[in-house]
Structures are given as C-alpha cells and as structure tokens.
Structure 1
Amino acid sequence: MKAKKSTFAFTGLIDTMRSIISVFLILLFATHAFSQQVSSQNTASVQSELASNFAVGPHIEVSLLNEQDSIVAGSTIHLGVLFRPDPQWHTYWLNPGDSGEAPTIKWQSNYDLSFKDINWPLPVGIPVAHLVNYGYEAENLLIVEVSIPEDLSPTQSLQSASIENTVVVQADVSWLVCKEDCIPGWATLTLSLPISNEANLSEHADLFKNTRQMWPSNEQKTGLFEVTDSAIVFEVNDVQPDEWKVFPFRSDLINHAAAQSVISDGTTTRIVVPRSDYFYGEASELKWLISNGEQGYYVQGTASASAPSNAANSEPASLASLAIFALMAFVGGLILNVMPCVLPILSIKAMALQNSQQSITHKLAYLGGVLFCFNLFALIIVLLQQSGQQVGWGFHMQEPVVVVLLAFLFTWIALVLLDAMAVNSNLANIGQGLVNGESAGAHFATGTLAVIVASPCTAPFMAAALGVALVSEPYVTVVLFNALAVGFALPLTLLFVSKRAKNWLPKPGAWMETFKRVLAFPMFATVAWLCWVFAGQKGAQLQFVLLSALILFCMFIYLLGQSKAPITKAFNSIAALLCFLLPVWVSTSSHLGSIEQDGQSDTLSYIEFNKDTLTRLINEEEVVVVNMTADWCITCKVNEQVAFSSDEVKTALAQEGVTYMLGDWTNKNNEILQYLNEYQRAGVPLYVVYAGSKSKQILPQILSPSAVISAINQAKEEVSNVN
C-alpha cells in the first residue's frame, strides 16, 4: 500500500511539475524578445540633456540634424546623424573590416512616419597595426530618408513629448570611436519639427548636399565572383578602368589588409583579393561596394558558373565533414544529460515511469519536446543572424530576465518536491487542461525544460560542432542541432520505449518519497548558481534583491499551502506574485545595477580581452594565454577551480613574458563572439595559448593544471627560439 501511495504522490508531483513548466516556458520565450531589446540599452557613455539633438562622448560629438525646417504631409524629408570624431579617431562603415562596429540608429516618433535604411558615404581603409578597418576618419553624416504619410496621425510613441502640430523624432544612437583603443558610446537624440503646408531648407542643407556627393551611385551593378583556395575574384562590367577597391558587406570574406589586384580590359573589371582564413563553405550571392575614393557602385554578385567542377569536387568532403560534426554533436548531446542542473529533472521523470503503460505517442513525446526546443533554438539563431545580429550557444543566459525566470522556476520545483504546497491546489494545477496526468504533453514539457536548463553548457565534442553550426548555412545549423537533440534525448527515450531498459530502474516503494525530497536540494543548488550568474550581470546589490525576493516567495508559497480562508489565500498569492515581479522588473531596468568585474582578480592577475591588445602582444613575441569564460558556463567555473586556481598555474602565468588575458562573455560582447567564431566555437569555454607570432595551441575544454603549464612552457620555448 505504501508503494502505491508513493507512486500516486509522484503522479501528482508530475502534474504540478508539468504545470510549472508550461507557465514558465511561455514566460521564458515571451520575454526573450523584450529582454533582447532592453539589455542593449546600457548606461550611455555620453552626457546629453533631455530632448536634445546633441551629445558629447569621449573623443566624439554626435548630432541629429534636419535638412528641411518643417514637416509636410505626403512628402519625403531627410534626417541625419552627424559624427564628429577627434583628429586621428574614426568611426565605422556598415562592414567595419578586421575590427570595430558599425553605428546603429533606432527611430521613434509621435507620428506614424516611415524611416528607411542608412545611406552610407564612401568608406576608406584605415590601417591599424597590421589590420585594416573600413570607416570614416573625419566628420561624416549618416542620412536616412523619412516618408511622411498623407494622413498624418499621432501614435502611442513619445506621447509625453507630444506637442500640438509638432512632430517629435527620437533617435537612439550607438557607435564605436577608435584610435589605438576603442570607446563605445550611446545617446538618445531628439528633434522637434513643426507641421506646415510648405517646407524650406534648414541651415544644415549644405551639409546634406555635400554628403550626397560622397554616396555611391544610385545605379546598382550586377557582377560575378569566384572563390578559389586562396583568393576571391570579383568581376564587374561597364565601369571605367580605374584603381577600384572592393568593400564587401560581409566581414569574413577577404583579407582586408591584403593588396587588391585590379585587372581591366576596358569593359570588364576584375579585382583579385586574398580570401579570409575565416571564410568557410560556399556562397551563391554576395553584395559589395567598389570605390575609387571619389565614386562608387553597389554590386549584387552571383557565383560564377565557370567553376561548377570545383564545387562538385568539394561536395563529398563537405558531406564527410558534416557527418563528422553531426557525430560530435550527437556525442555531446549524450554528455549533456549528466550536467548538474539537468540530471535531477531527468531523474524525476525516470522515477515517474514506474507505474505507466503508455502508447507510442506517450513514449516519443519526450523526444518530440527535445527536438522541438532544439529546432526552436536553431530557428531563433538563424533568424537573428539573418537580421544581422551575432549570437552563440547559450545566448539566452546572457539576458538577466531569463536568469531570474529560471531561478524562480527551480525554486518553485524545489518547493513542490518538499511538499511546501499541496499538489492538488488550484495554483499547482495551473495548466492542468493543457498537460494532464502521464500525458504526452507532460513528457513533451519535460523535454523542453531539460533543453533550456542544459543550454548554458558546452559539453566535450559538441563545441566544434556548434561552432560550425553557428557560422554556416542554415541547413547545416539545422542538421547539427538535430544531431545534438537526438543524442540528448536518447537515454531517457530508451527508458520510455525499451522494457529491458526500464527494468534497470529500481522498483517503486516508500523510498521514492525520500528520494523526491532529496532532489529538491540540487534544485536549490541550481538556484544558487543562477543568483551568482545574476550578480555577474547586474551586481551584488541587485543580487541581494533577487535573493530576498526568492526567500519571501518561498514564505508566501508555504503560507498559501497552509491557508484556508479565501482572503488569506488571495493575499498570499498576490504577495508571491509581487515577489516574482520585482526582480523581473529589476532585471529589465538598464539604469539599475552595474557589472562588477571581480572575476579572478583576487587570485590571478589578468588583462581584459581586447583584440587589438592581443595582436600587439603577439607581434611583440609575448606568450599570451587567452581564457574565454562566462559566469553561466559550468565547465568554465570547474576549470577555473581545478586548473587556474592551482599554485603551479599561477606561478606559470606570473612569469615574465607571459600575459593572461580573460574574456568575460557573461553579458553579450560581439568582439568576444567574433573571436569565438574565428575558432569555429559557438560558446565558451575556449582556451588558446599563443607563442608570439610563432604558433598557437587550443587547449581541451576540460583542463588540468599540467595541460596549462605544459602549453605555457612549450610556448615560451618556441618564443625563445625565435628570439
């Protein structure tokens, strides 16, 4: 009888678990897009007044300018953001070249206006050490065309700034200004223009006119390109022979610093450029700009049909490589099952299999949930990359609001495991109609939750596979993500479909009640880890807010389970909800909290990762140890405790001529992501030891002190031989 009661308790537990999972999954995905937008609004490095069209940042002035002095319904106007960097400082074109970041402008208005894309002036090549960037070394105006509808109607945006018969335009501008070092900047610029029947030119009209003379021609050319083992050949017809230079839209195509060879026969111009080491795969279409410094043309290029044999010869190798990476992803998925925050969830589900005779639909539902979630991740990543954003594996863990949601999710799971509230209460039965009993939906929800909590990890074997997935064509991304999903889902799916595998499980009994409560503590440990991640993102003060909210949340949930009177239940429910909403609001408030770069500062001396600094140290024949890490990366933290905390490694890193460089990817950082992509990695950890310009060595993802020390000593020996 006890065994049956224990089994029944587990069934009720699964009902509650299912309800929790369904609610939090909805919240998780619904808030991702919002948090993606909010997280980018960090504290600006400029000082600007409210409702001002002018801002000053380090080594730059930024202004929002208008070409016309008023707004006329049914017309087209032009607005522009003027960047004035200090002498010897520069900003960037849409493709910054070897390093840097293009400016961005996000528009809002209190009227329904249509803002088009930026018109980019002709860029120039800017040498920086042995690299070349594309951008502007002097004052430059980025002009945007704005369409005014015939029926001007106010919108909900900027209502507080609305003035009768006045159009208010707000531009959220971000930029990077560089010399030898780079300084990011942000500002919100505002411009008010009256609505009238006729518009005149403003005092800035000449600046707009002069800028248009630096635009590429409106005539877009078509061209061909051919990719060889060492170069890319760009071909354009109907341009006058001249010293043309190619500026590709993609930053991974060519060696930007290499000389470009121009060959022209009068009607056809071919430009040969050494290809980048980071260009992988094939391209069917490319866009580029050709410029001689005074005029330019945008070119829409297609792959030359003259090289089909090369593509055919390379296809078997590509398929073989894809198969190898798919196998690595599959093995990596298997290893993900034993990650600390995944194993307790799978254990609960495995114990729930004791009492069920299920249909094939039920048996495969968990596999379906895993496949769904991995493919959803793949789809989000592909869509974000197609929109121009750069993301990596575990990207959602860079959002503080996602970390908060997961912290409350695991706290709630732990409370249910400890029977802090009745499993048949109304609150515990939220979502009962969607996921009922030992239903297929319950198993599906478990699969999706397991993927979400496993995603911060990068298991051995899957790192290289994910790196290829995130820098390749969408179909490669989908194939590798599905291989990872099958590997991840296989162990528990075998328990569902195989009677022999199911017999491996211990028989049900009273021990299940004890085991259920024990599983609450790994959940609390996961919550502690998530709070630590949150501290790295928002600071210790807001971590205290989150911890306090979690404690109060536990108290009110417990009181809710003990409540009898409807008023008391309502009070405790509202109080628990407020405890949840407070840290969610805190995590989405850009003006609250600050990043504390404490990291390993108390144990190891390091410098923060910077690509230009790394290049300089390599050229100076220094030994450089690069550690790419993140607070939410469990493997990273294990390596820091096992390898980098040892006295021998500290001594090796403290040697003269050795520099320890730390890249913290806890929060989004495009420079670190670009570095990871160079090594075909989609996430952290990544450890690289440079022997000056002589060689570089990628260390394994699971480190030992001896592996780090050996790599450093080998690099020092190679540098000594060079000198």
Structure 2
Amino acid sequence: MKRLLFIFSFFLFFSAEAFSRTPPVTVDLVPQKSGIFPEEKMYLALRLKPQRGWHLYWRNSGDAGEPVDFRLSLPEGFEQTEVLWPYPERFSDEGMAEYGYGKDAVLLIGIKAPDYLPSGKKLEIKADVIWMACKNECVPGASEAKAYLTSGMKDDYENPLIRDALAFMPQKEETPVPFWEKGDVLILGLPASLEAFEKAYFFPYSAKVADHAAEQYIKTTQGKAYLFLKGRSERDKPLEDTFSGTLVTHGRDGSVKAFDITANRAKEVAPEFPLAFRWLDFAGALILAFAGGFLLNLMPCVFPVLSLKAFKVVSSAKSNARQIKKESLFYTAGVLVSFLSVGGALLAFRAAGTELGWGFQLQYPPFVLFLSVFMFVLGLLFSDAASFGETISSKSAAVSSGWGDFGTGVLAVVVATPCAAPFMGTALGYGLLSPAPVTLAVFAFMGTGMALPFLMLGFFPAFARMLPKPGAWMVLFRKFLAFPLYGASGWLLWVLAAQGGSFALATGIVCLVFAGFSVWLCGEAAKAPELKIWGRGALVCFILLTAVSLYSVSPDVQTKEDVLKTSWLPYQPEKIEEYRNKNVPVFIKFSADWCLTCLLNDKAVLNTPKAAELFRSKGVAVFYADWTERDDGITRALESFERGGVPLYVYYAPHARDPKIFPQILTYGILEDAFEEL
C-alpha cells in the first residue's frame, strides 16, 4: 500500500495517456449502508470490473503481474479495520502461473466510525487504486473511486453486493495446520474439518513460499489428507517457521470452498506415504537393484578390494569344489548382512524423522576421515609398503571356518558406500518410499547382485577354470590396484575439506602421514625383531591419533567451537588506526590457510572459547590478515614488521606507540600475560 504514495500520480498520468478508449478496468466504491452512527462498523466494497478476456491480480500475483493496491482516504476519526480478499483463480501460461481474477473482483474493506460523530453530516470516502490488467498484453492503470455516507442516518437497507461478496470470502480456519519441509517439497497438513473434496490448491500470501508454476497434489495416509507443494527454489533466506495463505477446495459435486489458514513448521516426524504396492513395479525395482549391485563390482572404490577374494580363488583353483562353494557362500553372507544392515539403519533413521539415502555415512565427517585413512592403509598394503606374509589374501585364508571370506564381503560393502552404480538410484528411490519388507528386499537383491561373480565361481567350476593361472602377474596387478585406493583416499579428503574446512583437511593429512609411517615401521619390524617394540608403539600411537582426530572433526565439536570461537575482523589498516586513536587495545593475526603452524595456533589457542572470552572481557579488537592468497597490502604490512612470512602476531596496547611481537608458537599464558594490565 505504501507504493501508492509514490507512484499513484504516475499511474494516473500514464492511464490518461494510454487510454484514448475505455480502460480495461472500471473501479467503484460501494458502502454497505448509506448511514452510519458513532462507533459503528461496516464494510466498503471496492469493486474492480475487468473487460471480457482481461484479468486482475490477487494480493500475491504469482510469477508475473502486480497486485491490486489502494490507499483509503477516510473522514477524520475513522479507521480502517481489515481488508478481505476473495479467493483467486490460477492462470497458467508457458511454464508460469499467476493468481488473480478473470471476473469482477470485490475487496471488502472494514471501517469503524469514531465515538463522536455529528448527526446529519455528509462524509466522503475516497480510494486511490492502482491495478494491472493483462490479456495479450499487460497494462498498468490507476483509478479513483468515491463513496458517501450520512452520519446519524438510520438505514436498514444493506447493499446486496456486500452480501454476495462475503460468499466468496475464505472462511477463517482458527486451528493452525502443520507443514514439513523435505528438500524442495513442502507437505501441508490439511484441516481435519474439511468436508470431502476432489482437489485442492494452496495460494500463499508470500511469493517466496512455493513454486507457483508447479502442480500441487494430495496424498492421504492414516485417514488424513496432505497437500504437496514444490518449495520456492530462489528464496534468499530459509523458509520461515510460519506462513499463511488461502486454501481452495473443489468438491466432487462442483462446489468450491475457500479457507484462510496458517501453517506452522511441525516438530513431530513427517508422515510416511508408502507407494501403492504393484507386483510389476516391485519386480522392476528388484531387477534394477540386482543390476546395480552387480555393476558395483566395477566401481574404482570397490574393484581393488574384490581382488582380495579374486586372488584367493585363483590361488586355490585346484582345491576341492566343496571348499570353494563354502568360501563363496561365506563371502555372499558377508555382503548380504552388510546390505541388510545398511537398509535397516536407513529405515530406523527415517522412522526417527531423518531423511537419508545410500551413502548417508559420507554425510558424517568422522566416517569420511576413517574411510580415507582405511583406503590409504589398504593401498599401502597393496603396494607392499609392509610385508605381512606372501600375499594379502593369504591372511584371509588363514582365518578359520570361512570367517575371513565373510569379513571380505563386509569390507567390500564398506568401501562401496562412496560409489553409486547405474540403476541403483531408481531402485533405492522405490525401496525407500515403500514399506520396510520391500525396502529390505531391494537391498537384499542389490547385495546378491554384488556377490554374483563369486557365487558363479563357487558353484560353476567352469568359470573358475577360465581364470588365468597364478603367477608373478598377481603381485604386479595387486600393486597396480593400490593406485585406485590412493585416489579414493584423496577424493575422500577433498570431501572432508568441503565438510569441515581447512582444519579437517589438515587433520586428515596428518593422519595419512602417520599412517604411512606406522605401516612402514611395522613392515621394518617384521624383518628386524629389534624394531618390534617400536612398531607396536607406532601402531598404538597411530590408533590413538586417529581416534582423537575422528572426535575433533565430528559435527558436534565443530558446531560448539564455531559458536564459541573468536570473532575476527577483516584486516583494515584504517580501522586499526581508528581503534588505536581511541586507545582500544588491538591484536592482529597474520595467517594463511596453508600455514600449518598458523592452523595449530588457531586450534590450540586463538580460536578456543577461553581465548574468545579473554579478548571479549579485556575489550581487545582482534583483526585477521589473511595471506592465503596474494595480497600486496598484507605483504607490505609484514615487511613493515621486518617479517617475510606467517605466522605473525602483533599487539598494540592502549597508549603504546610501538607494537609487541608475539612468538610464532603461541600459548594461552602468553596472551594472558600480555593483557594482564588491561
């Protein structure tokens, strides 16, 4: 409405110039009655009549157009109490949707008279209205409409226009409805008071709630109805926890009803909407799951690990058929148990209200770090960085009763989690939207597909005879397969850096370096008994370091540190000088993301809650000069302190002309001593 104060005069001029013919919209203002008494309330009907084929716009115009807007000039003492909008209709064209009126639109404006009103006085009410009308083209316009009342005059006649307009006004639904946001989908719980209807459409008041052009559809579960909307993708901020709008329902008999509703973000778990079971869909999903599982064997993160089993089959090709079958069955059992465990975990998380899918473990930084270190260590073993026997597969063979083969199956599934083979997405999508037995069946078929090659080798000896004979090629091929494992480890580090930033990346690099050292030392200890105790010590230290690292990159720790860490100001020499002129203590950190000493100082001292509280309590202004990328201004500043690199920590005490340079290795005590006099 505030736009009217600025653009009404423009529209009035434009409409006069634009229409040498009758404008496409006429506007009039009609009072509910001709007379009014003190403190009486009544409605004014603001009626906009578009010509045939033209349409006007609702309070939320949708993807285009402009809403009808007005400014009401009332007699002294009168006040405007409310504005009622009739429910709109939806106009769709070329992937866009608009909300408005193709016929007469009657807005009801509530007014209230003052407690004192002289009798017999003629009162004028004026509405300055702006509108936009569209047909083959869109034309903005402005109109002026007036209505007259007589104070103290009794009038029992009520204009039927008001009564008819009230029939098109949405009913107020007093009880808020819940909504859930799942990705780009909004699920709106419909009021329980609604009578039977065939379809429904929700018109949000705000243009930033839903995608206007997307279709809306209804699903029911457990006797309740829910409306599915596509969320607005270009929102500049997250959706608010409450929004309102008009819900229009269409009954089977052609009746139309409208309700003004308010939706609150639900705290309870979103309802489940299992797919209707059809045997044909089920069979198709199982076939896709089987094919996707089979193709997982060819993925670069899985294929090297499967060689553990392949080498063993090649080496034992002359063994009895019964033994090979037993090993294949144990391997298959390990794969199936792992797949069913992943499926069961997904079902449990979804029942708790968490939306997860295949590879959900990779959303958790500690698992990503663990998998990266595991892949790296496995690559070192493939490369013979440490010799623990003739071949890696010989270790698996040494495990009695087939449990080594079972473990190989589990291992294959663990390293498969970062990969997604063709056909898996469709099968998993069907399975995760279906009842639990269907979901588990999809995962079981996926596991069966993955285990199929080794089942074929175990139960059909002809396939085993097709394998190449054992020889030196096995050692060379195994060393070659180490490189996909190194690549997978590096890729997982990149994922970790994207999740946890430079600190998480540095943590991962330290773990990999120490993993390499520990494996090398253990390998040397196997050849030199006098190093045995050192090898064991390095292995224990590596395990402890990995455990601490996994804890340090966990989301809970990172979130807590982000909330409590020091709030640094960007390096600005003018701002620093301004603070110094006001005798505010200033601390400057010259640092870079590639500087390991800088990162350690940040983690151990500067970005701790303890340091943040010390800076805050002492009133120290803290500045961060980021030298990660070339910055001539920061380079000149470093040179002014006779330094050629980072880290550099500079402190200006109040009233001090010269700065104090801190050591490159910081402790909390150094900060505390420097700020003691503040």
Same fold (TM over 0.5): no
The TM-score, its normalising length taken from structure 2, stands at 0.43
| Bigger Rg over Cα | 2
Higher relative contact order (CA 8 A, sep 6+): 1
TM-score, normalising length from structure 1? 0.40
